[in-house]
């Protein structure tokens, strides 16, 4: 079945979770309006369905290959990328001063959902380039910006993030790659990086690597890491492509999924050293990298939404087509489409409700990022930046965990066919599995939420957010609609559970931080369920106010409240009462 861009659902998420209409009215987005936004998503949807989706399985089967030291992407990839560049899609969120369209984060995330739904292995390439552009915008010199940004903005050149080394994954303080100053403002880099997405390929004329490395006199640990720009090809003063730099792809990983996305082992300085320039101040590289990673984390959350959306559309099409078994109370022997069976309907509802909830959280986060950049008042910008920071780990981890659940149910709905690769459901399941891992594992997101984000503003940031969620649920209760069933009660119980667990977390951070760490993962899920449910409830209220009591928004909100929010009190119980059992399980006892 051909992919249908979920234009209405994305707009609903923006209106519900990101106050799109109010923000447009207030002039936050200049002349962007909802119709333009819809048109952009629609157009992206066509590009995704026509150009990217047909390459998704092709790319999965063929994979990218290392041929004579150069990465070769699957057949058709280069042409698709050329069309992507020609269509101006890469430039969409980029600063106008470097040739971009300067569209806000919400638009970028909307089109990113499309790229990743139709072809996640392809979607990673622009995602990484955006991250590199972002790093240069915040920390690059004017020379660096002028030399690199114009062609990165169009997508003619792509970007990478070189962080991980074999012994330094989550703990970047252990990085050993060296950068030796040459006295002329350049550096020579020596070291090996692993897991470098699109570290090499032939899609673009040049690849701009952003590389974490240590200066010779750098202090140990995280405070001695600097960021460098190392192009695959040096760039001459006149902007033309110069000599090949001393950086090569030494190997490709054989992965569970996203086969077409080359995951490279990169060797810097096998010869005289890879020539680079420093980005930002010496020893301050992690700051820039974290900045850029934070934005990438939201983008990964959106990848989770994307793959969930695609898996859901795929499974639903199958469930409407495949006949098997008689309907309850129907004529025995008369097979019906399996979508008629209650257990399959539960499965599809679960996929849809989780996808919608994750999308709400991601677009809420994107909206906060926009306000943090675009609002006129400093207070507004700061408040939005804080809320965006609070929500980012939830957007990343909740959405990507959801994508595992959703893509797994997608396989299951297909029965035996789901296990056959040709069907396609299995690829979503495989591709999705990277999402909870990269850009900081979901365990690290949970710890970030608990340890760094909850204490922001002395707890005021999280409190004001939960207050907003409470108000949304209050409106569900006030609407008192019979179609809502027990929606208000269940959404309210989830908020109550979140309040209780958040208080407990605050106390533990003071008195017993290991307990807070031990319960961070279930806490993040509770946070996501409470937030996602509140947004869905708000969407349902808007629908009935608009006169559409039969709206799908009502159906999904009710399902979510009565079947997923019901997890929340148990999660609070686990969080507040389960940590001791974790702490008691020392490594020694665990292995006994």
Set 50, 70, 439, 475: catalytic member: 439
d(CA 60, CA 122): 11
Residue bearing tokens 């930002």? 280
Output phi, psi for 225, to 5 deg: -115, 130
Would you say 229 or 551 has its CB closer to a copy of itself?
Answer: 551
Task: Supply the DSSP symbol for 368.
Answer: H
Would you say 117 or 435 has its CB closer to a copy of itself?
Answer: 435
| Selection from 316, 394, 383, 311 nearest residue 358 by Cα | 394
d(CA 428, CA 411): 9
| Selection from 53, 130, 85 nearest residue 369 by Cα | 130
d(CA 421, CA 256): 13
Task: Supply the DSSP symbol for 218.
Answer: P
Output phi, psi for 361, to 5 deg: -65, -40
| CB of 118 closer than 8 Å to CB of 54 | no
- Using CB under 8 A, pick the residue from 54, 87, 102, 169 that binds a copy of itself: 169
Which residues, 539 to 578, sit near a copy of itself by CB under 8 A? 550-552, 555, 558-559, 562-563, 566-571, 573-574, 577-578
Which residues, 186 to 215, sit near a copy of itself by CB under 8 A? 194-195
Query: Shortest Cβ distance from residue 212 to a copy of itself (Å)?
Result: 16
Report if residue 521 touches a copy of itself, rule: CB under 8 A.
yes
Report if residue 234 touches a copy of itself, rule: CB under 8 A.
no
- Using CB under 8 A, pick the residue from 94, 124, 517, 544 that binds a copy of itself: 517
- Using CB under 8 A, pick the residue from 33, 43, 50, 174 that binds a copy of itself: 174
Query: Shortest Cβ distance from residue 416 to a copy of itself (Å)?
Result: 5
Query: Shortest Cβ distance from residue 75 to a copy of itself (Å)?
Result: 19
| CB of 209 closer than 8 Å to CB of 265 | no
Report if residue 66 touches a copy of itself, rule: CB under 8 A.
no
Which residues, 324 to 353, sit near a copy of itself by CB under 8 A? 324-326, 328, 332-333, 335, 337, 339-349, 352
Would you say 67 or 590 has its CB closer to a copy of itself?
Answer: 590
- Using CB under 8 A, pick the residue from 107, 520, 530, 540 that binds a copy of itself: 520
Would you say 67 or 342 has its CB closer to a copy of itself?
Answer: 342
Which residues, 491 to 510, sit near a copy of itself by CB under 8 A? none
| CB of 249 closer than 8 Å to CB of 65 | no
- Using CB under 8 A, pick the residue from 320, 373, 381, 496 that binds a copy of itself: 320
Structure tokens at 287: 């700051």
d(CA 410, CA 347): 8
Instruction: Tell me the HSE value of 252 on the side-chain side, using a 13 A CA sphere.
Output: 23
Query: Shortest Cβ distance from residue 578 to a copy of itself (Å)?
Result: 4
Query: Shortest Cβ distance from residue 341 to a copy of itself (Å)?
Result: 7
Site size for a copy of itself (CB under 8 A): 103
Query: Shortest Cβ distance from residue 520 to a copy of itself (Å)?
Result: 6
Output phi, psi for 226, to 5 deg: -115, 160
Would you say 183 or 587 has its CB closer to a copy of itself?
Answer: 587
d(CA 144, CA 41): 32
Give the angle subtended at the CA of 125 by the CAs of 144 and 77, to the nearest 5°: 125
Would you say 111 or 529 has its CB closer to a copy of itself?
Answer: 529
Query: Shortest Cβ distance from residue 420 to a copy of itself (Å)?
Result: 5
| CB of 536 closer than 8 Å to CB of 556 | yes
- Using CB under 8 A, pick the residue from 27, 330, 513, 546 that binds a copy of itself: 513
Task: Provide the mask over 452-491, with x wherever binding to a copy of itself is found by CB under 8 A and - wherever it is not.
Answer: ---------------------------------xx---x-
Structure tokens at 51: 């150009």
| Selection from 71, 96, 77 nearest residue 197 by Cα | 71
Task: Say whether 270 is catalytic.
Answer: no
Output phi, psi for 382, to 5 deg: -70, -40
Which residues, 389 to 448, sit near a copy of itself by CB under 8 A? 404, 408, 411-412, 415-416, 418-422, 426, 429-430, 433-434, 436-438, 441-443, 446-447
Task: Provide the mask over 73-112, with x wherever binding to a copy of itself is found by CB under 8 A and - wherever it is not.
Answer: ----------------------------------------
Q: Coil, strand or helix: which one is 39? A: helix
User: CA torsion angle for 194, 131, 44, 306 (degrees, to 10)?
Assistant: 60
Would you say 66 or 437 has its CB closer to a copy of itself?
Answer: 437
Residues annotated as catalytic are 439
């Amino acid at each position: 079945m051909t992919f249908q861009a979920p234009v209405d659902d994305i707009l609903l998420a923006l209106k519900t979770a990101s106050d799109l209409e109010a923000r447009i009215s207030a002039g936050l987005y200049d002349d962007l309006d909802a119709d333009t936004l819809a048109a952009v998503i629609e157009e992206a949807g066509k590009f995704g369905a026509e150009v990217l989706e047909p390459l998704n399985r092709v790319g999965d089967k063929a994979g990218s290959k290392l041929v004579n030291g150069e990465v070769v992407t699957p057949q058709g990839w280069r042409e698709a990328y050329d069309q992507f560049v020609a269509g101006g899609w890469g430039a969409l969120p980029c600063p106008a001063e470097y040739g971009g369209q300067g569209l806000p984060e919400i638009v970028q995330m909307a089109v990113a959902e499309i790229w990743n739904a139709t072809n996640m292995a392809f979607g990673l390439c622009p995602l990484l380039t955006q991250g590199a552009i972002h790093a240069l915008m915040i920390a690059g010199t004017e020379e660096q910006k002028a030399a690199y940004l114009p062609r990165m903005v169009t997508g003619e050149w792509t970007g990478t993030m070189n962080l991980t080394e074999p012994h330094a994954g989550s703990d970047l303080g252990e990085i050993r790659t060296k950068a030796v100053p040459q006295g002329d403002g350049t550096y020579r880099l020596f070291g090996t990086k692993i897991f470098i997405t699109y570290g090499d390929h032939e899609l673009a004329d040049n690849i701009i690597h952003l590389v974490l490395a240590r200066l010779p006199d750098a202090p140990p640990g995280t405070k001695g890491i600097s960021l460098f720009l190392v192009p695959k090809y040096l760039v001459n003063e006149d902007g033309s492509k110069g000599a090949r730099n001393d950086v090569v792809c030494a190997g490709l990983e054989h992965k569970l999924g996203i086969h077409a996305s080359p995951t490279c082992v990169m060797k810097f300085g096998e010869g005289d050293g890879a020539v680079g320039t420093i980005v930002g101040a010496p020893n301050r590289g992690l700051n820039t990298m974290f900045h850029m990673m934070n934005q990438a984390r939201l983008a990964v959350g959106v990848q989770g939404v994307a793959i969930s959306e695609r898996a859901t559309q795929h499974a639903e099409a199958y469930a409407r087509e495949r006949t098997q078994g008689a309907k309850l109370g129907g004529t025995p022997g008369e097979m019906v489409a399996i979508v008629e069976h209650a257990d399959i309907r539960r499965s599809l509802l679960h996929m849809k409700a989780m996808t919608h909830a994750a999308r709400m959280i991601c677009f809420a986060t994107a909206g906060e990022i926009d306000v943090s950049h675009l609002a006129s008042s400093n207070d507004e910008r700061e408040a939005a930046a804080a809320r965006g920071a609070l929500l980012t780990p939830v957007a990343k981890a909740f959405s990507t965990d959801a994508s595992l659940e959703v893509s797994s149910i997608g396989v299951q709905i297909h029965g035996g066919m789901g296990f056959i690769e040709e069907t396609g459901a299995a690829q979503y399941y495989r591709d999705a599995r990277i999402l909870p891992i990269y850009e900081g594992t979901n365990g690290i997101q949970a710890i970030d939420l608990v340890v760094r984000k909850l204490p922001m503003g002395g707890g005021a940031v999280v409190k004001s957010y939960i207050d907003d969620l409470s108000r949304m649920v209050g409106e569900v209760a006030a609407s008192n609609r019979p179609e809502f069933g027990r929606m208000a009660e269940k959404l309210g119980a989830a908020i109550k559970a979140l309040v209780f667990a958040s208080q407990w977390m605050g106390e533990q951070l003071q008195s017993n931080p290991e307990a807070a760490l031990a319960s961070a993962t279930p806490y993040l899920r509770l946070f996501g369920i409470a937030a996602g449910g509140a947004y869905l409830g708000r969407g349902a209220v808007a629908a009935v106010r608009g006169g559409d009591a039969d709206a799908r928004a009502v159906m999904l909100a009710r399902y979510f409240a009565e079947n997923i929010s019901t997890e929340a009190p148990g999660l609070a119980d686990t969080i507040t009462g389960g940590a001791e059992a974790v702490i008691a399980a020392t490594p020694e006892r665990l292995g006994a």
